[in-house]
Structure 1
């Protein structure tokens, strides 16, 4: 029988894990702090260790080092909260086999343990099957080489599901809800990948061989929304020259995805409520009910409950939809995922353009990780497509990036710079605002450019650096905005 040592100062957690793992055929040992676990390991070598990262008397990385010092091949699984993910990843680099996050899911625990034990068994067989000997037949120990964990990446069209904690949580939720017929609400900002998540739910469901129909409700006009969703009969309104089959009929037996559902009018919401309640619909101008067997997934870039409170969305419809929900965090809250997506988009763009750009420069990687991606994945992808097109070598440099991204840190108002020298040319907006000016310090042209630039930066700040919105606020087009910023850059470098 394989033995698992659980190290956790939460005695209730130890008891729950012990009962659960014992039922699945494992012998379980417990230790409530780092010191006791090390004393136990002096006399016992378990098959696997599960260790909470936060212990009262010892940090997880310290304890891991001591365990690996005594048993280099012993698989260790770290238990951690989401706030400790970055540290947990570093601990994996030190030799931990994997980590699981709280709250703990039984299936995930068993799968991770099984993989860890199989990996340890294969490693032991490989070591025994290939002994190394010296010329005098003395055994020579092989050096222990830390193996890099290969990321488990799932590609879904332009989207990817990686092996980071955020992706793991989303995939766990998808696996949980996909086999059911639950209606799912997906919350996430524009460009965050809501449709890709909906498609992945469909692909992992029993309806995967049936139609998947996606509708952007924000693009439907109030007059034609009913016809697009439910179809219409010939002559039911002016311009209805033929009968039309709506999206719900097209998706019958499959899945329909309604993006930005809060934009639907009140009348359409009433019709949608009937579809959800009775699984029946009627074409515009029709008299016959049509039976529906369709799974509904909806998405919104605002919390639907907030839309309910504002009177934009029917409360009864919200409660009908709210059988299961998935939240997709914005890219700015997932810095560890940025380069995963960036490399994916670079690979796609290389194929599209017939190029062979291999990497991003260190400067570009630092910019990508610190930039606040207000447009999420859509913005990142467009930036990489532009940079790939402009690059000639094997590496994407910062000069290929849009000005507002490559100079993002300089465009911030929050950090106060050091006082500028008397005759130095200001390089940030704070320096411009704080440095006294007179006729002898600048030219009329320079003063005009500085004044324009201050207005541009204030506008960008007001709209969270959204270029299109800033241009609209300034009553200029986007191209003019770029030209103004470029003009200031050139003047500043003189």
Structure 2
């Protein structure tokens, strides 16, 4: 049975997740703070960790960073409120497998947990294949060593959704222009906007399309492991190097290496990377043999590398090596003409994954999608559709299956624009009442103020209803009744 560690400062959440997951044949241990969670992970050696982003002693970011330093291949699911979607997207850059938004739905949890564990096992099997290949071919040529990586190309991502808008057309004109060359490319774009998919598309349209496409998330790997991941190491080269490891450069030999969030690499690794880029040769850590490389490098960043170079975070000479061609991937909020095309594609793939037959979206849902700002971009859209498809019981995805923040985006945005607007409306209430035929009643004003107070407290506590009830000085039943009254 697979083991799961749940870390959440709410005892109720820990209890419910343990009971639910245990009934589905998982061994579950729980902790209510980050310190105890880390100790539990060390003692239990779980197959998966689920953690709330907001913990009492540390943040989910700190917990995730520590876990990834100790056990980089351990999948971590972040539990967060939908108002923290930007935080969740940033945490995924640090190596989280996925995020689950509150309120929690059992079916969604089970699907995500099983997929995370299955993907981790699949990666582990592939790594064992590569290690076995390295062990049995230590005297082989460089070309022979790189052969196992070619199996990765068959598992690479499917073609990118092109889109019909002018923005998409201009984007893929650039892809078509640079793909046949061997230029290094820098791809800029917000988190979740599809930078890796664009890199994959460049590879697919290049002369290297039948060779490996290997991706490395530089933001999800600790400084200590980055060198070994990039260049590999020989058996016994350092403590813990129990066998020879093939690095990403060798795995990508003949093909394309994609380095996501490249600015997160340490200065020492940047120095080593510059030498490899210049000479097209490398040595494994602890090795003496020079390995010839024929690798096209594509890098991505959500911050300007030249700005990072000027601030001393990124080597300027390395930036100019990479900057042979630049592509800007637009944010989803700027691609509204393509949004429903993306949504339809994600719905199709989700139907296949979940064995569902949802055919489309209601008009209300389409309007909600078009009005929403999508801070998490395509990744957020994909997750929203997966969740909504899972919850849908009809042919169309309806509003009831969408997260609260998307359906109520306009209303919440108006709340964010307060208190200036609120103060103005209250101070001018008497004056407007004298001149307006539809004078507000005292009851309607009180209801509006009560709604605003409940919403503000719910958002402040990340929609934790127990905490909200305590702050409002009412019991949970009264809070639920109020939420029902105001259709929250």
276 and 164 in structure 1: CA distance in 2 versus 1, 3 angstrom threshold: same
Alignment-derived partner of residue 96 in structure 2: none
1:445-456 aligned within 5 A: 451=453, 453-456=455-458
1:202-217 aligned within 5 A: 202-217=203-218
- Tell me if the contact between 1:228 and 1:247 (Cα under 8 Å) persists in the aligned partners: yes
- Tell me if the contact between 2:458 and 2:464 (Cα under 8 Å) persists in the aligned partners: no
Deviation by residue 1:326-364 (Cα, 9 ceiling, x = unmatched): 000110111111111111111111222222222211111
Alignment-derived partner of residue 333 in structure 2: 332
1:69-80 aligned within 5 A: none
- Structure 2, unaligned stretches of length 5 or more? 1-155, 430-439, 469-475
Q: 1:408 Cα shift?
A: 0.8
Alignment-derived partner of residue 284 in structure 2: 283
Helix, strand or coil at the partner of 1:223: helix
486 and 341 in structure 1: CA distance in 2 versus 1, 3 angstrom threshold: farther
Q: CA separation in 1, counterparts of 2:352 and 2:486?
A: 38
1:152-167 aligned within 5 A: 157=158, 159-167=160-168
Quote the RMSD (CA, aligned, Å). 3.0
Q: CA separation in 1, counterparts of 2:441 and 2:165?
A: 46
Q: CA separation in 2, counterparts of 1:274 and 1:381?
A: 39
- Tell me if the contact between 1:425 and 1:492 (Cα under 8 Å) persists in the aligned partners: no
487 and 209 in structure 1: CA distance in 2 versus 1, 3 angstrom threshold: farther
Deviation by residue 1:64-101 (Cα, 9 ceiling, x = unmatched): xxxxxxxxxxxxxxxxxxxxxxxxxxxxxxxxxxxxxx
Alignment-derived partner of residue 17 in structure 2: none
- Tell me if the contact between 1:453 and 1:488 (Cα under 8 Å) persists in the aligned partners: no
Alignment-derived partner of residue 54 in structure 2: none
1:54-203 aligned within 5 A: 157=158, 159-203=160-204
List structure 1 segments (4+ residues) > 6 angstroms apart after TM superposition: 472-477, 483-487
- Tell me if the contact between 2:200 and 2:213 (Cα under 8 Å) persists in the aligned partners: yes
Alignment-derived partner of residue 234 in structure 2: 233
Match of residue 424, structure 1, among 404, 421, 444: 444
Name whichever structure is richer in helix by fraction: 2
- Tell me if the contact between 1:188 and 1:328 (Cα under 8 Å) persists in the aligned partners: yes
Q: CA separation in 1, counterparts of 2:244 and 2:454?
A: 56
283 and 375 in structure 1: CA distance in 2 versus 1, 3 angstrom threshold: same
1:436-447 aligned within 5 A: none
Q: State the TM-score, normalizing by the size of structure 2.
A: 0.58
Q: 1:182 Cα shift?
A: 0.4
Q: CA separation in 1, counterparts of 2:173 and 2:183?
A: 15
Q: State the TM-score, normalizing by the size of structure 1.
A: 0.57
Of structures 1 and 2, the larger Rg is shown by 1
Q: Which has the higher contact order (CA 8 A, sep 6+)?
A: 2
Q: 1:285 Cα shift?
A: 1.4
177 and 239 in structure 1: CA distance in 2 versus 1, 3 angstrom threshold: same
Deviation by residue 1:132-160 (Cα, 9 ceiling, x = unmatched): xxxxxxxxxxxxxxxxxxxxxxx962741
Alignment-derived partner of residue 44 in structure 1: none
- Structure 1, unaligned stretches of length 5 or more? 1-154, 433-446, 460-469, 478-482
Alignment-derived partner of residue 222 in structure 2: 221
241 and 397 in structure 1: CA distance in 2 versus 1, 3 angstrom threshold: same
Helix, strand or coil at the partner of 2:197: helix
